[in-house]
A and B are shown apart, each in its own frame.
Chain A
Amino acid sequence: MTDVAFSEAELAPPRPLRRLLRTNPLLAFAAGLVLLLVLVSALAPLIAPYPADAGNATHPLETFLPPSWHHVFGTDPVGRDLFSRVLYGTRISLTVAAAVIGFSIAVGLPLGVAAGAFGGLADTILMRVTDIFLAFPALLLSLALAAVLSPSVTNATIAIAVTWWPWYARLARGTAASVAGRPFIAACRALGLSPLRTIVRHVLPNSLTPVIVQASADVGGVILTSAALSFLGLGAQDPTPEWGLMVNQGQAYFPTQWWLVTFPGAAILLTALAFNLLGDGLRDVLDPRRVVGRT
């Protein structure tokens, strides 16, 4: 009987969420924006007026058209509708960001938590290794790797991921180390819990907050980096509708055909902005040291 009551309490809808959003306009706004971007990314084939233009289609008679009702963002050097391409670009950017951050967390989090919780030699080794990776100019490494492997979105993603994970290892390590030092962890061990169980069930969940905040802000960073790589020709290749690539292609015709550079670049800015604001909002909300009156 009591089991049923307990599980029903667990199933109750989380009302605090709505209150949370109301008292934090920044978070609500950013979350809305991010949601919009995700929707655009998912529904691109349905929203884009000329879906074929995101791929191989060319329209030699409609090149370099300025923005108009038919082509909201104008057309590019081979006549493709820029608006559709920018919409499809959302998919690429968000996918790359998800892949890089997913990888970084998957690799960095366990390593960092283990190092922070166990300390000692494992910790020292991890610190030195991440130090080396961090001292390595990330863009340089990405450039080098992207140059070595033939340029493509996938390879650019790999290159960025390789340079990105040390941050998360470091971050996880720092948080895990301070959590592991807390009395309640000692209490767990005193109760006879094995080290592994203690780490997984207690240290890990308590180390997640900074990682979450960092991850949301990092989406912006990854998008900027992948756009930079594409801009240099080391990432996406034509006809892939990647924003950085589009800015690169439009550069030659700048500033007369200004729309070629302006709109894709604005898309990069907007997306990075949205995720950075989200990270900020989350940090404000999740920070345990909020200024509250003390008695």
Chain B
Amino acid sequence: MKLALRDVRIAFEGRTVVALDALDLAENEIVGLVGESGSGKSITALAVMGLARSLGATVTGSIALDGRELLGLSERQLRQVRGRRVAMIFQSPVSAFNPLVRVGDLFVRTLRVHGVDSTDAGRRAEDALREVLLGPELLRRYPHQLSGGQAQRIAIALAVALRSDVLIADEPTSALDVTVQAEIIELLRMLRERERLSILFISHDLAVVAQLCDRVAVMRNGSIVESGTTAGLLRHPSHPYTRALLAAVPRLGGGRTA
């Protein structure tokens, strides 16, 4: 199992916001984590990266990457995991980049932090951009000079350049147009094949999840209420909340699913 979460409890100022019994991500698998805003999806993602503590949360339980426990690791050890083993992309792609830094500079610096030397870093950056179907000249731009789709692709390219095995995508398409959404989803699918990426795809949009993910876990009020294969869940949802979510998905031509 690439990524395994067991009995994860996340609390803020004494209040438990996430009580997650089990969540698995197998190698080369795309798992969707679905739920409304406030269901605890994003904070769980941050907890995997070891970033929940800086927001003031306490995390207990087990989060294992390739069998190795992440939760007790020191800051230094965690930093070796972040980016290099587990990469994360966020909802608002343009604001995820430092507005004062050229994109290419960020690329090179990130690679160097993870031990790649400068000449190598430049080449890897260009290669990575080509993989996400962007021209290398975009590296010279500032974030505000990029479209949402371009910025998100570059964020994904960072994961490719770092040769991460796991990508956590926190609502990566929610801030994008529908057509751009489709492109990003296609890109993720392609990368899963080519780079053998394992992807945890977090979204509130069941329709998008249905297109991309092999398995789905439904989250509500901090717990997972149902999980299973995408096809199985769509056809035979057992939990009432899942059913409600499915019913709420708008379909072209009217009518409802299930």
Direct A–B contact in the complex, CB atoms closer than 8 angstroms: yes
Q: List chain A positions with a Cβ less than 8 A from chain B.
A: 291-295
Indicate whether B145 reaches chain A with its CB closer than 8 angstroms: no
Nearest CB in chain A to that of B36: its residue: A295
B41→A295 contact, CB < 8 A: yes
How distant is B8 from chain A, measured CB to nearest CB, in Å?
13
**Residues in B neighbouring A295, C-beta threshold 8 A:** 17-18, 37-43, 222
Interface residue? B57 (CB, 8 A): yes
Residues of chain A lying within 8 A (CB to CB) of residue B57: 293
Chain A residues, CB < 8 A from B17:
293, 295
8 closest cross-chain pairs (CB), A and B = A293-B12, A295-B43, A295-B40, A295-B38, A293-B55, A295-B42, A293-B57, A295-B17
* Interface size of B as a range: 10 to 19
- Sample 13 A-B pairs with CB under 8 A, ordered by A number: A292-B12, A293-B13, A293-B17, A293-B55, A293-B56, A294-B43, A294-B55, A295-B18, A295-B38, A295-B39, A295-B40, A295-B41, A295-B42
Q: Determine the distance from Cα of A239 to Cα of B222 in the docked complex, in whole angstroms.
A: 69
Other contacts beyond A293-B55, A295-B222: 18, CB < 8 A: A291-B55, A291-B56, A293-B12, A293-B13, A293-B17, A293-B43, A293-B56, A293-B57, A294-B42, A294-B43, A294-B55, A295-B17, A295-B37, A295-B39, A295-B40, A295-B41, A295-B42, A295-B43
Q: Smallest distance from the beta carbon of B17 to chain A beta carbons, Å?
A: 6
Measured in the bound complex, the distance between the Cα atoms of B39 and A294 in whole Å is: 10
| A293 (CB) vs chain B CBs: closest residue | B12
Closest to B18 in A: A295
* B15-65 contacts to A (CB < 8 Å): 17-18, 37-43, 55-57
SS class, residues of chain A in contact with chain B: loop
A236 → chain B closest CB, angstroms: 50
Closest to A292 in B: B12
B101 to chain A, nearest CB (A): 24
- In the assembly, what is the distance between CA of A176 and CA of B118, in Å? 50
CB distance from A12 to the nearest CB of B (A): 25
| A residues near B12, Cβ cutoff 8 Å | 292-293
Shortest Cβ distance from residue A101 to the other chain B in the assembled complex, whole angstroms: 36
Residues of B contacting A293 in the complex (Cβ-Cβ under 8 angstroms):
12-13, 17, 43, 55-57
| Chain A residues, CB < 8 A from B56 | 291, 293
B18 partner residues in chain A, CB cutoff 8 A: 295
Residues on B with C-beta less than 8 A from A291 are 55-56
How many Å lie between the Cα of A152 and that of B13 in the bound state?
Answer: 55
Question: Complex Cα distance A293/B40, Å?
Answer: 10
Closest A-chain residue to B52, C-beta based?
A293
Q: When chains A and B are docked, how far (Å) is the Cα of A294 from the Cα of B56? A: 10
On chain B, the residues within 8 Å of A292 by CB distance are: 12
- Compute how far the CA of A292 lies from the CA of B17 in the bound complex, rounded to whole angstroms: 12
Instruction: Point out the residues of chain A lying under 8 angstroms from B42, CB to CB.
Output: 294-295
B20 to chain A, nearest CB (A): 12
Least CB distance, B47 to chain A, in whole angstroms = 11
Q: How far is the CB of A105 from chain B (nearest CB, A)?
A: 36
> Nearest A residue to B35 by beta-carbon distance?
A295
Nearest-neighbor residue (CB-CB) of B42 within chain A = A295
Quote the shortest CB–CB distance from A295 to chain B (angstroms): 5
B residues less than 8 Å from A294 (CB atoms): 42-43, 55
Contacts of B43 in A (CB 8 A): 293-295
User: A293 vs B17: C-alpha distance in the bound complex, in angstroms?
Assistant: 9
For B55, the chain A residues whose CB sits under 8 A away are 291, 293-294
Per-residue A-contact encoding for B55-89, CB less than 8 Å = 1, 0 else: 11100000000000000000000000000000000
User: Considering the chains assembled together, what is the distance between the CA atoms of A241 and B12 in angstroms?
Assistant: 53
C-alpha gap A291/B37 in the complex (Å): 17
